[in-house]
A and B are shown apart, each in its own frame.
With several copies, the nearest count.
Chain A
Amino acid sequence: MLKIEGLAVEREERLLFSGLSVSLSAGEGLHIVGENGAGKTTLLRVLCGLTLQASGSISWCGQDVSVFREEYCSDLLYLGHKNANKTELNCRENLRLALGVLSVSDEAISDALHDAGLGLISHLPTRFLSQGQQRRLSLARLLLTKSKLWILDEPYVALDYKAIDWLDSHLERHLKSGGMLILTSHQTLTLSSKIRVLNLGEQHA
C-alpha cells in the first residue's frame, strides 16, 4: 500500500540518506533504527509530507501522496516527538481536539482515557500531568482513530512498563486488523508480532 522509491533527504547540503526504497503492505510493521541524528525523525516527517525530500517518490495505494494529499492524510496518523497537547485544556478536550474532524461520542472518549490510565485525572489541565501521563494522552488517539497507517516517533519515551504493555497490545491489534505501522525507538521492541527493521545508519553508509 505504501511505497517509497529512491528517497533521498538533504539538510543544508548534507545528505542524510539516499536511495531508500521500501514498501509496506497491510498488516506489516517497520521499525526504523539508527544512531542519534541518523535521520529517523526526518524520514518520518518526509513520509507525512511535512518535510520535502530531495528526490524520490512516496505513493499510497498507487497514488502519489503529494498530489492526493487529502486522501492520504485521512488514512494517516502521525505522532511526533511532541505530544501535541494544549496545556490549558484537560485530557478530554485535548483528545477531542486531536481527533480533528472525526466525530466521536463522549463515552468513547471516556473509555479511551480510562484505558490509557487517565480516567481519574481526565479533568486536569494537561500542564499538570507528568511526562508519562502526557505521552499516554497523545497515544490515546490510537484507540479512536480509523487511520490505516500509523507513523509513531519514539512512542515508548517516558512510559512506565505498564503503559508499554498497554501500547504494545494496541499496536498488535492494529497490525492484526490489517493496519500498517512505522515507528522509531531506541529501546528493543517488546511487540510479539514480527516487525521489519530498517537501519538508517547502514542505509547511509
Chain B
Amino acid sequence: MSMTRRIPWMKYASASNFYPLADRLVPIFMGLALVLAVIGLYLGFVVAPIDYQQGNSYRIMFIHVPAAWMSMFIYLLLAMYAIISLVWRVKMADIMAYSLAPTGAMFTFIALLTGALWGRPTWGTYWIWDARLTSELLLLFLYLGYMGLYSAIPDRQRASRAAAFLAIVGAVNVPIIYFSVIWWNTLHQGSSFSFSEGASMTDAMLYALLLMALACWAYTIAVVLRRAQALILERKKVALWASQISKK
C-alpha cells in the first residue's frame, strides 16, 4: 500500500519543484518580453525604411510574421507534450500542453487578423480561400477544438487523453501550413527569410523581425508558466480531496 501510494506523489514531486522555479522565471521573462518588444517595434516602425512597393502597410509584417511563426511552433510544442502525456502519462506534460493552448490560439488569431488587414491593401481582399490561409484558419479551429474538448469532458483524465489525441491528429496540419506556399501556387508570399541566402531585406527589418520573434517567445514562456502554476494548484486541491476520501 505505502509503496503504491508513493507513485502519484512522485509525479507531484516534479510539480512541486516546478512551482518555485516558475515563480522566479515568470517576472524575468515578462520583463524580457517587454524590453525586446519595445526595441523591436522601434526598429520596425521608426528605423526601417519605407517599402517602395507597399508603402507603410508592410510594417504590419513585424506583428504578422512572428505571430504566424509562434502559432505553428506552439502547436508543435503542444503536440509534443500531448504525445508525452498520452504515451508516458506524465501529468506535468498534460499541464504544459493545456497551458500552451490559449496562447497559441491568441497568436493564431493575431496572425489571421493582421494577415487579413494586410491583405486588403496588397491583394485587394481581406480573405481568399487559398491553401495557407485556409490551413491557418484550421489551426485556429484546432486550438479551439482542443480547448473545447478538454473542457467538455468532465473526467479530467479522460479529457486530457482525448484532447491530447486530437492535438496529435491535428499536428498533420502544421506542415501543410508551412509548406503550402511551396506545394501549391498561392497568393501568399513565399519564404523571404532564409539563413543560406542571407537576408532579402534590410538589416533593420531583419533585426526588428528577430527581436519581435524573441519577444513573443519570452511572453509565451512567462504566460504559460504562470498558467501552469494555476493548474498545478487546482489539481493539488483535487489530490488532497482524493487522499481524504481514500482514508474514509
Give A residues with C-beta under 8 Å from B.
Answer: 8, 10-15, 18-19, 54-55, 88, 120-121, 125, 127-128, 204
Contacts and interface: CB of A to CB of B under 8 A. Distances in A.
A19 B8 contact: no
A13 B156 CA distance: 10
B24 interface: no
B238 A12 contact: yes
A103 to B, nearest CB: 28
B4 A8 contact: yes
A12 B157 contact: yes
Contacts of A8: 4
Interface in B211-248: 235, 238-239, 241-242, 244-246, 248
B7 interface: yes
Interface of B: 1, 3-5, 7-8, 154-157, 235, 238-239, 241-242, 244-246, 248
28 contacts: A8-B4, A10-B8, A10-B157, A11-B157, A12-B156, A12-B157, A12-B238, A12-B242, A13-B235, A13-B239, A14-B245, A14-B246, A15-B4, A15-B5, A15-B8, A15-B242, A15-B246, A18-B1, A18-B4, A19-B1, A55-B7, A120-B241, A120-B244, A120-B245, A120-B248, A121-B245, A125-B154, A128-B154
A13 B242 CA distance: 6
Contact of A13 (B1, B4, B8): B8
A204 B5 CA distance: 11
Given A12-B238, A15-B242, 7 more contacts: A10-B8, A13-B8, A18-B1, A54-B7, A120-B241, A128-B154, A204-B246
Nearest to B4: A18
Contact of B154 (A15, A18, A88): A88
Nearest to A15: B246
A120 B154 CA distance: 18
The 7 A-B residue pairs with the shortest CB-CB distance, nearest first, are A14-B242, A18-B4, A13-B242, A13-B239, A120-B245, A125-B154, A8-B4
A19 B3 CA distance: 9
A142 B5 CA distance: 38
A8 B3 CA distance: 11
B238 A13 contact: yes
Contacts of A54: 7
A116 B241 CA distance: 19
Contacts, number: 43
A15 B239 CA distance: 10
A128 B155 contact: yes
Contacts of B1: 18-19
Contacts of A204: 246
B223 to A, nearest CB: 26
A191 B49 CA distance: 91
Most buried by A among B4, B157, B235, B241: B4
B153 to A, nearest CB: 10
Contact of A55 (B4, B238, B244): B4
Contacts of B244: 120
Most buried by B among A10, A12, A13, A204: A13
Contacts of B8: 10, 13, 15
B156 to A, nearest CB: 6
B143 to A, nearest CB: 24
B242 to A, nearest CB: 4
A146 B149 CA distance: 40
Contacts of A88: 154
A204 B155 CA distance: 22
A15 B1 CA distance: 10
Contact of A19 (B4, B157, B241, B245): B4
Nearest to B154: A125
A57 B242 CA distance: 24
Nearest to B156: A12
A8 B242 CA distance: 15
